[in-house]
Amino acid sequence: MLFRTMTAMALVLGATTAQAEGPELVINGEIPITTRAPAPEHMEYVREVMSGWEFRSPETQAFEADDFENPGMIFAEDGRTAFSQPLGDTDQSCASCHESPETLAGARAVYPKWDPEREEVQTIEMQINECITERAGAEAWGYTSQPMTNMSALLASVSRGMPVNVAIDGPAHDTWLQGKEIYYTRYGQLELSCANCHEDNYGNMIRADHLSQGQINGFPTYRLKNAKLNSVHDRFKGCVRDTRAETFSPGSPEFIALELYVASRGNGLSVEGPAVRN
C-alpha cells in the first residue's frame, strides 16, 4: 500500500516536472505557440492554463510543428480556395470584401464577440454566416458543415501565435455568466460537469484518455480518431453526450454562451488551430 502510494506520487511528480520542462511548440520553425500561460484573473481554481497540445503524446504533438505534417492544414487550404470562390449563385466571395485571409489575422483570437448591431454574442461561425447571408445574399452554411469548418480552420490558421483575448465584460458579460453556469452544471445520469473532468482532473487518466483542460484555442481540431476536422460545438456535444445527458445543439444559445466562457478560460494561450489531437 505504502509502496503503491509512493509510486503513484513519483509518477505524479514526474509528470509535473516533465510538463514544466516540456517541449515547446514552434510551427514551421517560425510561429511560437504559447501552450502554457498564467490563468486569467477570472479563474478561481486554476493557476496555469494549458493547451490540449500539452497533454498529447510526442507523436501527436509533432504533427503540429509542420504544416506539411498537419492534416488539418489540408482543410484550411480548402477554405483558402473557397475564400475567393463565388458564394452560392452570387458573384460575391469572401475576397470581394476581404482582400486575403491574412487581412483577417487576429479575428479568431477575439471570438466569440459581442455584435452591437445584432445585440448578441457571435461565434466566428455566426459571423461567417452573417457575411454569407447579409453581405453576399447567399444561403447560410450549416453550423458544423465541412465548408464552415474549413473556413474556420483557415481563419484560425492565419491567427496562429496570437493570444486568445475574448472580452467578458460589458454587454457580453451576461452571456459569459450563462456559459459559466453551464460549465459548472452536472448534467446527465452520470452527473458530471465540464469542471469535474477538465478543472478538477486535468492531467489524470480517465480510462484510456489523458484529461486536458478542455481548452478551445486549438479549434477546429483534426482528430486522428475520426480523421476529420472537429468544430468546437461538435466537441461540446460529444462531451455532454458522454455524461448520459440530453445534449444541446451546435449553434444553440447554450453552446454559444459556453463557447464564450471556455474561450475566456484560454485567454493568454495562443490561437493554435487547426490543432491535431487524438
Partner 1 sequence: MKAGICHAAGVVALVLAPISAPAAPAPSDVVYDEYGSVAESLTGAAGDPVKGADVMANRGLGNCVACHLVSDLDEVPFHGEVGPALDGVADRWTEADLRGIVANAKMVFPGTIMPAFYKNEGYTRPGDAFTGNAADGPLDPLLTAEQVEDVVAYLMTLKE
189 binds, among partner 1, ligand HEC, none (CB under 5 to 8 A by kind): partner 1
SS3 189: coil
Catalytic residue flag (residue 239): yes
Q: Shortest gap between Cβ of 195 and ligand HEC (angstroms)?
A: 8
Q: Is 94 annotated as a binding residue?
A: yes
Q: Residue 115 and residue 152: Cα distance in Å, rounded? A: 18
Task: State the first-to-last Cα distance of the chain, in angstroms, to the nearest integer.
Answer: 34
Say if residues 250 and 195 touch (Cβ distance below 8 Å): no
State the maximum Cα–Cα separation within the chain, in Å, rounded to a whole number: 72
13 binds partner 1 (CB under 8 A): no
206 binds ligand HEC (CB under 6 A): yes
Q: By C-alpha distance, which of 79, 56, 91 is closest to 223?
A: 56
186 binds, among partner 1, ligand HEC, none (CB under 5 to 8 A by kind): partner 1
Q: What is the dihedral of CA 215, 218, 219, 225, to 10 degrees?
A: -90
138 binds ligand HEC (CB under 6 A): no
One-letter amino acid for residue 247 of the chain = T
262, 269, 271, 276: which one binds ligand HEC (CB under 6 A): 262
Binding positions for partner 1, rule: CB under 8 A: 1, 4, 8, 185-192, 196, 200-201, 204-208, 211, 237, 240-247
List the binding residues: 94, 97-98, 131, 194, 197-198, 235, 239
